[in-house]
Amino acid sequence: MTHKGFSGSVGITIILFTLFTCCALIVAPVSAATKYLGGAPSFSASVNGVNEFTPGEDATISILVKNSGLNLVKQLDRGTIDAEDLPNTAKFVTIGLSSSSDAVIIKTDPQMAGDISGNGKTVTLQFRAKISTNATAGEYQLPLTIRYKYTRVIEQEAADTFEFTYNKAEDILPVTIRIKPQVKVEVIEAVPVGLSAGSQGFINLKIRNAGPENGEMTAVKLLRNGNSPIIPTDNTIFLGSFPSGGIVECRYKVSVSKDATNQMYPVDVAISYTNREGTIVTSRPETAGIPVNAKTTFTVISPVHEISSGTSGTIEVQYRNDGNVTAYNAQTRITPHTPVTISDNTAFLGDLEPGKTATARYDIQSDNAAELKMYTFDSNIRYRDAYGSSLESDTMPVMIAVVTAASGQSTVDTVFRVCAGCVIAGIIIWIAVRIYRSKNNNR
């Protein structure tokens, strides 16, 4: 009986051991790790959105970067630790866009994109660029440089140990953009006609279509440049067809603000046209410098005039044109004030060319009670420019001195009177001496 019981205990033990072993076999695959033995990142890049730009444009180029890398070999039930980084994941990615041509200037530095996993994951980056005004039409390939790291496939030496090592990689991918043809303005000649501060005049332009595009339904526009004192009055001239290489002449009426000085001022010239695709396009403005004359100035060059207190007389005031343009139909006006009055305070000067002088005459009268001192009178000149615009000069002072009646004569008159008196006195004395001597001789 004892032997039989012992055999039963051994059987139960064998059964329990078998059950535990089966459970362990069932649980073990659940905790097993997966390992990838092959694969790497694989990048492609393309422009996301608009890829056509025009010369002179400040562009934003949006680029879509895609990682299509796959994990090629997958090993199951290898150790107990899953790898944190897969072979097809690009880590610490830096992406930079550059240009090998002066036609496109990239202004954005390389950008950090973080980690980009494989299996078709994407990231979009934007780069600021300047398209040169001299860029010719056509396609341009911009190199996109992608620098990153990815995990190296290694054997796992122990079930609970995993060593992470990485490869460095650099991919250079071409990104294609297109520069569209357009009409380009080239100002060959810009000639001002009668432009001076505060007046109106004309600008004669000769322009060329220096671009490869033929313009249809073309209009040439003269535009104000910022706060330039040159302000277009008629700013659009319709041309119709404007072929590449064509030259046209345009004439625009403009006005010039009063604060302009003797210097060059900018104006902008742009062309609105219909391109080969039927789209209305406005070209990039071209800036031209236009010389402008300052406001015409006049100067009183006559000396100080004198008038005796309580008398009347005529004074002559001489004016000189110190400007660069002719003053047409000029007339001057003087503003009187007591105690000196002027019966007619305007005088006609006629056409006054640059550097020329003209004389105005005024009849003035001084009160008996006028204080003996220097008086200042305001005068100005109103005239017309070459196109009939009425203009007025700045105020110019005219000096008049009121003197006493005795001192009211000029120095020349005084000298003449003294000399004449001396001569008369000499003659009288000479006659008296002759008479006296004649009488003595008769005795």
pLDDT tens digits for range 255-311: 999 889 989 999 999 999 998 888 899 988 899 999 998 888 999 999 998 999 889
User: Are 54 and 170 found together in one domain?
Assistant: yes
pLDDT in tens, 229-239: 999 998 999 99
Cα angle vertex 323, ends 234, 328, to 5°?
65
**Which two tokens mark 301?**
């060059």
337 assigned to some structural domain: yes
Where is mean pLDDT largest: 156-160, 204-208, 335-339? 204-208
For the ranges 5-19, 193-207, 213-227, the lowest mean pLDDT is seen at 5-19
User: Are 268 and 311 found together in one domain?
Assistant: no
**Which two tokens mark 328?**
């047409």
For residues 312 and 343, give the distance between their C-alpha atoms in angstroms, rounded to a whole number: 10
pLDDT interval class at 27 (50, 70, 90): very low
Domain count for the chain, please give it: 3
User: Are 67 and 145 found together in one domain?
Assistant: yes
pLDDT at 28: 41
For residues 106 and 310, give the distance between their C-alpha atoms in angstroms, rounded to a whole number: 85
User: Are 40 and 66 found together in one domain?
Assistant: yes
Neighbours of 370 (CB within 10 A): 19
The DSSP code for 3 is: H
User: Are 334 and 284 found together in one domain?
Assistant: no
User: Are 128 and 232 found together in one domain?
Assistant: no
User: Are 160 and 48 found together in one domain?
Assistant: yes
Instruction: Kindly report the backbone phi and psi dihedral angles of residue 12, in degrees, each rounded to the nearest multiple of 5, phi listed first.
Output: -65, -40
User: With 0-12 CB in 10 A as exposed, 13-18 as middle and 19+ as buried, what is 319?
Assistant: buried
For residues 442 and 280, give the distance between their C-alpha atoms in angstroms, rounded to a whole number: 124
User: Are 286 and 230 found together in one domain?
Assistant: yes
Q: Of 292, 308, 336, which residue is a domain's last?
A: 292
54 assigned to some structural domain: yes
Q: Which domain holds residue 165?
A: 31-179
User: Are 150 and 233 found together in one domain?
Assistant: no
439 assigned to some structural domain: no
Instruction: Kindly report the backbone phi and psi dihedral angles of residue 325, in degrees, each rounded to the nearest multiple of 5, phi listed first.
Output: -130, 160
Instruction: Look at 401 and 13; give whichever has higher pLDDT.
Output: 401
CB-based contact 207:174 (threshold 8 Å): no
435 assigned to some structural domain: no
Extract the runs of DSSP E, i.e. beta strands, from 284-354.
286-292, 298-300, 305-308, 312-321, 327-335, 340-342, 346-352
pLDDT in tens, 247-259: 999 999 999 998 8
Rg of the Cα trace of the chain? 50
**Which two tokens mark 266?**
């900018």
Q: Of 275, 292, 309, which residue is a domain's last?
A: 292
417 assigned to some structural domain: no
Residue position matching structure tokens 């040439």: 220
423 assigned to some structural domain: no
For 115, 132, 205, 230, 259, the CA distances from 289, given in Å and listed in that order, are 53, 22, 11, 10, 17
pLDDT at 7 over 60: no
User: Are 150 and 98 found together in one domain?
Assistant: yes
User: Are 167 and 128 found together in one domain?
Assistant: yes
User: Are 122 and 91 found together in one domain?
Assistant: yes
pLDDT at 155 over 50: yes
pLDDT interval class at 344 (50, 70, 90): confident
101 assigned to some structural domain: yes
Tell me the CATH number at 315: 2.60.40.10
User: With 0-12 CB in 10 A as exposed, 13-18 as middle and 19+ as buried, what is 11?
Assistant: exposed
For the ranges 140-144, 253-257, 359-363, 370-374, the lowest mean pLDDT is seen at 370-374
Residue 24 CA to its chain's centroid (Å): 81
Which residue type does 249 have?
E
For residues 324 and 385, give the distance between their C-alpha atoms in angstroms, rounded to a whole number: 11
Q: Of 140, 160, 179, which residue is a domain's last?
A: 179
pLDDT at 25 over 50: no
135 assigned to some structural domain: yes
pLDDT at 72: 66
Q: How does the average pLDDT of the chain come out, rounded? A: 84
